[in-house]
């Protein structure tokens, strides 16, 4: 397994645990379709959250969320629309970003950004 994928899995696993501790219900992970992939889909209150997890080492120059540019946002929105067409719900969609800073398998910092972007 490649090192980038291992680091990504560590960040996604940590984020899913954090979400559960904060009373989110994780409904899907690594949802993919022809338009793209959403790392985690969770619900809380009146929202269905499409969560992009970005994991970086502590040596990285930029914050992880800076990697979620306009093109990535468009892919996430289109993927979320596909998900909602396949699994309709009455909840308000929201796009969140989880920033994970890790050294190896040790989490050094975590930042959860609610409503990070939208249409």
pTM value is 0.92
Total of domains in the chain: 1
36-44/47-57 β-pairing: antiparallel
What's the token pair of residue 70? 């306009």
Secondary structure of 62-106 in HEC code, one letter for each residue: CCHHHHCCHHHHHHHHHHHHHHHHHCCCCCEEEEEEEEEEEECCE
> pLDDT digit of tens for each residue in the chain (119 aa)?
555 666 678 999 999 999 999 999 999 999 999 999 999 999 999 999 999 999 998 777 788 888 899 999 999 999 999 999 999 999 999 999 999 998 888 899 999 999 998 76
- Domain span at residue 92 reads 3-117
Tell me the C-alpha to C-alpha distance, in Å, between residue 112 and each of 1, 11, 32, 59, 89. 27, 12, 22, 20, 24
pLDDT attached to residue 65: 86
Residue 55, pLDDT score: 92
> Domain with 43 in it: what CATH number?
3.40.1350.10
């Amino acid at each position: 397994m490649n090192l980038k994928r291992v680091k990504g899995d560590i960040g996604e696993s940590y984020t899913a645990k954090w979400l559960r501790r904060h009373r989110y219900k994780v409904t899907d992970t690594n949802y993919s379709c022809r338009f793209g992939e959403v790392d985690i889909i969770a619900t809380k209150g009146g929202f269905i959250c499409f969560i992009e997890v970005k994991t970086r080492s502590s040596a990285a120059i930029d914050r992880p969320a800076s990697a979620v540019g306009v093109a990535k946002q468009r892919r996430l929105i289109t993927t979320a629309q596909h998900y909602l067409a396949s699994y309709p719900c009455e909840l308000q969609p929201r796009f969140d970003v989880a920033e994970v800073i890790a050294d190896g398998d040790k989490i050094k910092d975590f930042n959860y950004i609610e409503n990070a972007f939208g249409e």
